[in-house]
Amino acid sequence: MLKHDTPPQAQWLKRTFSLVDDSALDYYYNLAFHICPDSKSRYFQYKILHNILGLNVKLKQMKIKADDRCDFCHNCVETRVHLFFECSLVSLMWQEFEKWWYGKFNENIKLSARDIILGVESGTNYRQLLNICILDIKMYLFDCKYNEKSPILDGGIHKFMRRQRIEHIIHRKRLTLAKFYSRWSVLLLADL
């Protein structure tokens, strides 16, 4: 289990996302460790929560970049909330994602900044898959930023589907396919 961040960062998260207490924060701090077996995804979410991701607002403070504006819209300061939620290009993508999710799972979701930055705690029957998908899309957005590409929903979904295929290969080799199906069967059935 991860321990809390430095108090100012934890306080910022609690204040910004209206978390009632430290136990609410614990859920989000540990979420990626529960749902992702790979260290790359876990560490990516860790960097978001601890605000140590190489975003332009940070890079300018460190005098690595002169411009702190968003690499997608070139309009607003590139903070984590802006890049992953508020940016005009990205918010359109999340709207498309909500429609995609409805098409797959017949479930209406409306994602907030808190859902996207921290994770989803309620409002879905498929919490684990939804949180994995959101994390994969965030990783895809960050890749797009670094490769100077405009994000499209298909790219994020592709990353999520790739995770499913990789986990299938791993579980088949380990003879633990039951574990794979308990996690992914809802999506596999939706694809039939």
Interface positions with Zn ion (CB under 5 A): 70, 72-73, 87
Nearer to Zn ion, 55 or 139 (CB): 55
Nearer to Zn ion, 35 or 144 (CB): 144
Nearer to Zn ion, 86 or 107 (CB): 86
Instruction: Provide, rounded to whole angstroms, the least separation between the CB of residue 17 and Zn ion.
Output: 20
Sequential DSSP letters for the chain:
-PPP--HHHHHHHHHHTT--SHHHHHHHHHHHHHH--SHHHHHHHHHHHTT-S--HHHHHHTTS-S--B-TTTSSSB--HHIIIIISHHHHHHHHHHHHHHHHHH-------HHHHHT---SS-S-HHHHHHHHHHHHHHHHHHHHHT----HHHHHHHHHHHHHHHHHHHHHHT-HHHHHHHHHHHHHHT-
Instruction: Provide, rounded to whole angstroms, the least separation between the CB of residue 129 and Zn ion.
Output: 27
Instruction: Provide, rounded to whole angstroms, the least separation between the CB of residue 111 and Zn ion.
Output: 17
Instruction: Provide, rounded to whole angstroms, the least separation between the CB of residue 98 and Zn ion.
Output: 19
